[in-house]
Chains A and B, each alone.
Chain A
């Protein structure tokens, strides 16, 4: 056969060559546009913080109140980390409130009733949480029951078990060591006059770590000829984050110092942020949520991944259960009621998609903080409980509606 050289290939390779040129350039506008959804959430948080600072005459930003927000909502944020992973995988977990109650109850029975040391209670709670997660994971992953049903059953089941474990009564108080987990502070370690120098030191180390890792990432991207933000923008971002963190540390240092739960929470956010973005497991969670069949046909062991998603949720529920029981200094049969809804709301406000495959840990944290700042602000203003619930419900609805609208405009829903 005599065929002339195909002109189509020529034309098209020329097009691709011109398209490849822009790699390695820096266009802050595209970078910002690409991250609009994420930054939109940050903007919303800033607006809400500012709004309540104004409405409460700055009371909401006082050192004491900021410490309070951290202590009060830490367990919701811990749950939201697990929940956003569950949601990215295309599932839901309605049982986390009951699991928080159960793990707290087990811990209380071990420590308060049986007089074991505090760490035995912590271990027992973690074991129970992981076992509950494995139970859910088994039904979802290996039997193939939708997570909505499995965890709805779990919600009833584990609430019932909580009542059983506690014999329908509250247990309190925990010994001081256990209580320190949620109510304790690291302060006075290196002194300071009227403020805690240690807190500032940790804040400084965190900022330094952020800047160093930012530089390394940037350098690596440049080495791989990837587009990066302009240097000025990069420095501005580093400075802004550094300033916010240091201001936050400053406020904490002038209250009671560095809360232990904040350290736990920061460690979890760091670890899970990396887990979701940088590990094979994390990628497979996104792949499953994005297109289950395609993931399966790409060799992803879907059952195994689903199983571990729920085991992890159980583990984090136990962590939240420990923090909550420690904070309330005891275990109550009704503990953790409706926590699942707060955690789910945090994930969705933070940009997770109802259909799965989309969401970030950081987003869920910001979503959780938006809820936290609103609740706290309304409490400071003495807004009625009923009205608070109405406002939170509307914020959730508007946040998701905004997200859906954005996507439709972007044409992603086609």
Chain B
């Protein structure tokens, strides 16, 4: 536990304005030496901006207020300055060079030179091996980073930070892309680093992690500090943090829905998919179905083949040597291309909306019409006023917050981007919507809206398949949940009988024997 009372870092009355907006207003942040301090807040609350001020991305002078490190004011002009003082940020999007080795990445910009200024590779690799051991990563330092999973890459980033003599480590959404096991490893490592005297600041949306690991928490809302919570007592609950974040109580995370499943809409039989480049099955003989007015969940650990299953069903957009049958309303259909899948009433909203879901440089209107453009066209000519009307309707129905449908999608918040993605697929008038991590990276309020939209869809008789890494979300939203492990369906559980423990058990089942 934290024994010393002195603060390693104090940020006082930080105000940072961009043309027209105050991103931060009088924000204060105090971090004690050797603690894990969590920062939470909804998207747009100012967490990232605050960290950019701290690390010197926004140089001293571009903001008001003062930063005290070890009690003395500091003025960072850039990241180099802050790193020299032992402040290192690890961003959500990892900044490793994929084709360089682990060792090369760790010492990038800080190369271990020998006589004559040449790089001393023996020392580089030996030092890297020591650093890897300190973060508990058993990999050869000469392995190219591209061969590591996200979890291990994260550890490499931390090793890199340690090599820079880090005293204050800032992790931005460190577990967002990790599965539960890797997340647990990472949290353990953070505790160990704390015990070794490294102070950690963690930005996270995952409140269960914050309550389990943080010593104290600062809550931001709309660019202001709301409160600082001491977590040591164990009395601060997730609900308590949420109240600070949203400024109100959310009585129910998941909106109520009366479930009245109808006829079967989609059925998949004996579905097998091979990895596009490696010789292994990613999906192995999967069978599942979904009925009208039903939300069916797919739970699985990272690498279980959830996204691969969904994308291969969606017009074979993933994988090769795909075998199996797809039925719509009991009739077998061909869905060999995405266009065919869309025509058959299947829609797939990707887990990575920025990379696979949206044209970020285009406006809302054209993103919404992208998949169903032919519905707006006669003989190849697009009816552009009709298109605007469709977009306006979606903007209203989905409550997309933007000044107009001509707004560029890249500038919207995550939640609003997700609403655009949903609008796009609804415009194709699908019967089945496959939603892959529909609430990833969006804030609590927007999550609730997305849930409400999903409920509205099933009430209208659509069938929804929902893939999610967050088990409470599946339990709160679904009628039935399939568990997937190493490409195989290991269970089908009605929500009434499902618990997190039971699902977890099924998700981990056969992992060793199959994978």
Which single member of B255, B384, B386 contacts A3 (CB below 8 Å)? B255
CB pair A9–B448 under 8 Å, yes or no, is yes
- In the complex, how many angstroms separate the beta carbon of B19 from the nearest chain A beta carbon? 9
Given A1, A287, A293, which contacts B370 in the complex, CB threshold below 8 Å?
A: A287
B359-384 CB contacts (< 8 Å) to partner A: 359-362, 366, 369-371, 373-374, 377, 380-382, 384
Choose among A283, A291, A357 the residue that contacts B373 (Cβ–Cβ < 8 A).
A283
**Whole-angstrom distance from the CB of B423 to the nearest CB of chain A?**
12
Residue of B nearest to A279 (CB): B380
* B395 in contact (CB, < 8 A): yes
Most chain-A CB neighbours within 10 Å: which of B341, B348, B350, B404?
B404
- Pairwise interchain contact A286-B362, C-beta atoms closer than 8 A: yes
A295 at the interface (CB under 8 A from B): yes
Would you call A189 an interface residue if the criterion is a C-beta within 8 Å of the partner chain's C-beta atoms?
no
CB distance from B325 to the nearest CB of A (A): 21
Q: Are A297 and B358 in contact (CB under 8 A)?
A: no
**Which A residues, 290 to 339, have Cβ-Cβ distances below 8 Å to chain B?**
290-291, 293-301
Q: Would you call A13 an interface residue if the criterion is a C-beta within 8 Å of the partner chain's C-beta atoms?
A: yes
Q: Quick one: which of A23, A221, A281 contacts B404, CB cutoff 8 A?
A: A23
Instruction: Out of A3, A8, A9, A291, name the residue touching B360 (CB < 8 Å).
Output: A291
Q: How far is the CB of B155 from chain A (nearest CB, A)?
A: 28
Interface centre among A220, A284, A291, A293 (most CB of B within 10 A): A291
CB pair B338 A297 closer than 8 Å: yes
Known: A6-B250, A357-B361, A357-B362. A298 touches B370 (CB 8 A): yes
- Indicate if the CB atoms of A299 and B396 lie closer than 8 Å: no
Residue contact A290 to B449, C-beta cutoff 8 Å: no
**Residues A3 and B399 in contact in the complex (CB < 8 Å), given A8-B449, A298-B424:** no
| Segment among B90-98, B111-119, B184-192, B406-414 that sits at the interface with chain A | B406-414
Are A4 and B370 neighbours in the complex by a CB distance under 8 Å? no
Instruction: Give the contacting residue for B399; candidates A16, A300, A358; CB below 8 A.
Output: A16
Asked if B255 and A283 sit within 8 Å, CB to CB, the answer is no
Contact in complex: B385, A299 (CB < 8 Å) = no
Whether A281 contacts B359 by the Cβ 8 Å rule is no
Chief secondary structure at chain A's binding surface: helix
Q: Which of B250, B337, B360 contacts A301 (CB 8 A)?
A: B337
Contact, CB under 8 Å: B401 / A12: yes
Q: Which residues of B are found within 8 Å of A224, using beta-carbon distances?
A: 385-386, 388-389
Residue of A nearest to B311 (CB): A297
Q: Hey, which chain B residues are within 8 Å of A278, CB to CB?
A: 381-382, 384
Q: Which residues of B contact A190 (CB under 8 A)?
A: none
Contact assessment for A296 and B317 in the assembled complex, using a CB-CB cutoff below 8 Å: yes
A9 surroundings in chain B (CB, below 8 A): 399, 448-449, 452
B395 touches A294 (CB 8 A): no
Contact between chains at B338 and A296 (CB < 8 Å): yes
- Chain B nearest CB, measured from A7 CB (Å): 6
Residues of A within 8 A of B392 (CB): 20, 23
Known: A8-B445, A15-B401, A299-B338. A226 touches B385 (CB 8 A): yes
**A353 and B411 alpha carbons, distance in the complex (Å):** 18
Pick from A1, A357, A414: contact of B359, CB under 8 Å: A357
Report how far A260 CA is from B385 CA in the complex, Å.
Answer: 35
Q: Is the CB of A12 within 8 A of B384?
A: no
B331-354 near A? 1/0 per residue, CB < 8 Å: 000000111011000001010000
Residues of A within 8 A of B382 (CB): 278-280, 283
Bound-complex Cα distance A83 to B388 (A):
29
A200-243 contacts to B, CB under 8 A, are 220-221, 223-224, 226-227
Number of A-B residue pairs having CB atoms within 8 Å of each other in the complex? 138
Q: Which residues of A contact B487 (CB under 8 A)?
A: none
Q: Cβ of B315: which chain A residues have Cβ within 8 Å of it?
A: 299
**A382 on interface, CB distance cutoff 8 Å:** no
A194 at the interface (CB under 8 A from B): no
Contact B252 A3, beta carbon cutoff 8 Å: yes
Give the chain B neighbours of A414 by CB distance below 8 A. 410
- The answer to whether B338 touches A294, judged by C-beta atoms less than 8 angstroms apart, is no
Contact A295 B408 (CB under 8 A): no
Q: Does A143 contact B (CB under 8 A)?
A: no
Answer yes or no: A411 CB below 8 A from chain B CBs: yes
User: Is the beta-carbon distance between B395 and A16 smaller than 8 angstroms?
Assistant: yes
Instruction: Determine the chain A residues whose CB is within 8 A of the CB of B448 once the complex forms.
Output: 6, 8-9
Q: Any chain B CB within 8 A of the CB of A34?
A: yes
Contact (Cβ within 8 A) B445 A281: no
- Residues of B within 8 Å of A4, CB to CB, are 251
In the complex, whether B109 has a CB less than 8 A from a CB of chain A is no
* A19 adjacent to chain B (CB < 8 Å): yes
Report yes or no: A16 in contact with B360, Cβ–Cβ below 8 A.
no
- A294/B361 in contact, CB under 8 A: no
Q: State how many angstroms separate the Cβ of A391 from the closest Cβ of chain B.
A: 31
Indicate whether A412 reaches chain B with its CB closer than 8 angstroms.
yes
Residues of B within 8 A of A301 (CB): 337, 339
User: Once bound together, how far apart are the Cα atoms of A299 and B375, in whole Å?
Assistant: 13
Besides A34-B406, A279-B381, A299-B315, 10 more A-B contacts (Cβ < 8 Å) are: A1-B256, A6-B255, A16-B401, A227-B404, A280-B377, A291-B355, A295-B359, A295-B370, A296-B338, A297-B317
Closest 7 CB pairs of A and B: A290-B359, A3-B252, A298-B371, A299-B339, A224-B385, A299-B338, A291-B359
26 contacts between A and B (CB under 8 A): A8-B448, A13-B399, A19-B401, A20-B396, A221-B385, A224-B385, A226-B388, A279-B380, A280-B373, A283-B366, A286-B362, A291-B356, A291-B358, A294-B359, A295-B370, A297-B314, A297-B317, A297-B350, A299-B339, A299-B341, A299-B342, A300-B370, A411-B411, A412-B361, A412-B408, A412-B411
B residues neighboring A (CB under 8 Å)? 246, 248, 250-252, 255-256, 314-315, 317, 337-339, 341-342, 348, 350, 355-362, 366, 369-371, 373-374, 377, 380-382, 384-386, 388-389, 392, 395-396, 399-404, 406, 408, 410-411, 424, 445, 448-449, 452
